[in-house]
Structure 1
Amino acid sequence: MSTQDVLDKQQISAYLKDLPHWREVPGAISAVYQSTTAAQSIELLSEIAGAAELDQHHPDVDWRYNKIFVTTTSHDAGGRVTTRDIALAAKISERAEALGISAQPELIGVVEIAIDTADRKAIGAQWAAGLGYKEASDGSLVDPNHRLPSIWFQETSTPNPNRLHVDFWVPHSASGAVLDALKGAGAELDGESAPSFTVATDSQGNRFCVCTEQDR
């Protein structure tokens, strides 16, 4: 693989303008397709498998009744988006449209667990051992089977008393509805770093960050 295959954020954004089904998520691009029946979802799943085998580039796919959740990244490029991901995404979109299956980008979401720490190296191996995770190139911990939430360490000299919080990544286009729901449920919102992320705090002091691909 040539290093020229790896795309920076600006290049990803440019490509995604021509791929309206897809959104950027941490280290990958994602889409969600919703069919009318489970059988139609299986048909799309088969089409995705065929495209992946043809390209020898395989996405992570989660089938849930009439919905197909698809995420593609280049693991051999350190979990970054490459031109191969863009090419595969285009083929998947074409097959979904040919089957009359609609995209639901507002359903795209990625959960990460963040841990405040003054010394990531002091605890990283313990978390990896307990969960069976592997360390990624950016120092985060990831499930080798790409099923469970990743863990990243927010290094700070002043860790929050509640050191663990959840980061929920959603497309910027869908973040307004999430923030409105949080506000309506009584959460306190801190939008100082929006649209990159907004910190929500519940009535017991637990934090919840809504993150988007914007201003990264």
Structure 2
Amino acid sequence: MAATDPVLTRPQIDDALAGLPDWRYRLGALVTVYKTATSAAALELVAAVGRVAEELDHHPDLDWRYNRVFLRFTSHDAGSEVTAQDVRAAAAASAAAADAGAAAEPGLYRSVEIGIDTEDPAGISEVWRVALGYRKGRFGDLVDPYGRGPGLWFQETNTPNVNRLHLDIHRGKAESAAVLDKTAATGALMNRDHAPDWVVVTDAQGNRLCLCTEENHEPDLPEQAPEG
């Protein structure tokens, strides 16, 4: 990545995404999924994206799953944020996918983070970093340097929940409504105080998760889910 490439603001990213219908914004990256007719065609798409990445000298996190290819572009040299280089690479990958006859399924790209309620993030973060083999992220969070495991972040609060750990499940805004409706139909408690950025879901035993959308740059949890 060229050193002069600036980090794009969220409005700039949204403007870029208007011309990239196959892609979504997600936690400092552009992400999508492509479906091909066969696993062999998916492997050919992987090779095509690899050639594009070499030409641009900008490489994605890529996961091949039978006839689907999961892609994530971020600029590590810019602090794992989105730059114009990611936009160019996403456009080139889309062109390669179109040539391969692949169909975009960006709604399949889910990102999962683990949140931990704590009164003192600094007092515990190093334990988790060393144990997981992670590195420090953009905002005091921890990330897998190889992009394999879920991210980990620390919810600083003087009133930690009884269940200190929760999951943040990130989807694109366009895909979140159906998931929220299906989750509500299970009988879970749905705290929508911060919608559409995120909705806090509490199951019958008090365990929490957040259903988050790309509407919010860095979703967070309220200190306490409301009692139902």
- Aligned with 1:176: secondary structure? helix
Which residue identity is paired with 2:178?
Answer: A
Instruction: Provide the rounded CA distance (Å) in 1 between the counterparts of 2:216 and 2:79.
Output: 22
Which residue identity is paired with 2:165?
Answer: L
Instruction: Provide the rounded CA distance (Å) in 2 between the counterparts of 1:157 and 1:94.
Output: 50
Match of 1:149 in 2: 150
Match of 2:192 in 1: 191
TM-score if structure 1 supplies the norm length? 0.97
Q: Size of the alignment, in residue pairs?
A: 216
Return 5+ residue gaps in structure 2 as ranges: 218-228
Contact 1:37 1:66 in 2 (8 A): yes
Match of 1:15 in 2: 16
Match of 2:28 in 1: 27
Instruction: Provide the rounded CA distance (Å) in 1 between the counterparts of 2:4 and 2:93.
Output: 24
Contact 1:134 1:141 in 2 (8 A): yes
Contact 2:28 2:82 in 1 (8 A): yes
Instruction: Provide the rounded CA distance (Å) in 1 between the counterparts of 2:215 and 2:132.
Output: 31
TM-score if structure 2 supplies the norm length? 0.92
Contact 2:32 2:105 in 1 (8 A): yes
Match of 2:68 in 1: 67
Q: What's the Cα RMSD here?
A: 1.1
Instruction: Provide the rounded CA distance (Å) in 2 between the counterparts of 1:179 and 1:205.
Output: 18
Contact 1:5 1:84 in 2 (8 A): no
Runs of at least 4 residues of structure 1 off by over 6 A? none
1:72 deviates by 0.7
> Equivalences for 1:56-135 in 2 at 5 Å?
56-135=57-136
- Aligned with 1:19: secondary structure? coil
State the percentage of identical aligned residues.
46
Matched, 1:164 2:160: no
Cα distance per residue 1:98-141 (max 9 Å; x no partner): 11110002212100001111111000000011111111131110
Return 5+ residue gaps in structure 1 as ranges: none
Which residue identity is paired with 1:172?
Answer: K
> Equivalences for 1:26-45 in 2 at 5 Å?
26-45=27-46
